[in-house]
Chains A and B, each alone.
Chain A
Amino acid sequence: MADTFALTPELEAAIGQASDPWTYEVTTTSVRAFARGVGYTDPVYFDTEAAKAAGYRNLPAPPTYLGTPIFIPGRSDDTFSSPREGQPRVAHGLKNVLDGGTEVEYLEDICAGDTLTGVSTIGALDIRDSKALGKMLIVSMDTKYTNQHGRVAAVLKSQVIFY
């Protein structure tokens, strides 16, 4: 637990920095794996015939699933599978991490066969006090996912808590 933690100019320099683009794949196998992980029983997320009967061009990405980032050892984060290379760095030195909140805005349908290109930008850094966890740093990040047709398919806003 951190008793004192302050935003330094070095940390604040990360605000507004954008990542390099990274590829997120949406495949029949990845959609099934995500749907199975959540515990869906709806065949539309597993059976391509059921998906087509429901009006989709292929298995639809379940809500909140925005593709699987291509994993490359050394270039990807071994814990979270997200890209590490070309990402803005917030060198806060805090050890523990919790999720704060998530929002996805959908602009296009996302189905198996789609390839999304994600670019993340650090929107804000905030410090809050928690009785249980001490000083917390909240990193707000926006990620824009552009599909293979060059259209923005989804925008993810996430808040991650470090303490």
Chain B
Amino acid sequence: MAVDWNTIREGDELPVLKKKPSVTQLVKYAAGSGDFNPLHHDFNFPQSKMLKSIIVHGRFKYAALGELVSNWLGHRGRIRQISCQYRGMDFPDREVTCGGKVARKWEEGGRKLVQLQIWTENDEGKKTTPGQALVELR
């Protein structure tokens, strides 16, 4: 279901996007993004040993937040700005839930704009990657 400007209300929640990235998925992300930091695939890498695990790329979570917003928009608009902060680490084979909420809806110079709060939440309910997105609807 693609989004419709007329029915968007401030406070609306975006349909959640659940991810459970396996090591293989992280390897695919490494290949797609070009980020081959061993911290994201090699358990014997010193920093992984220090953290007792490899960790999910922060940018994977950022990209997953992009997917959350893209799925919600259904190509009826464009992302103008998207940001996040990496506040907590996530680990492979653990569920990451991407969520979002309409913070503000307004028109400006004929442009239909929506500000979203977005975040990823780990399986203990901690928001590890809070962020924001500004989208413009057609």
Contact = CB atoms under 8 A, between A and B. Distances in A.
Interface band, chain A: 35 or more
Given A101-B85, A106-B81, A39 B37 contact: no
B32 A79 contact: no
A38 B78 contact: no
Contacts, number: 110
Contacts of B37: 79-80, 97
A103 B33 contact: no
User: Chain B contact residues: over half helix, strand or loop, or mixed?
Assistant: helix
B44 interface: no
B63 interface: yes
Residue with the highest number of chain A CB atoms closer than 10 Å, among B34, B58, B62, B63:
B34
Contact of A102 (B19, B25, B59): B59
Interface string B94-110: 00000000000000000
B63 A38 contact: yes
Closest 6 CB pairs of A and B: A63-B66, A37-B32, A81-B34, A103-B83, A37-B29, A99-B58
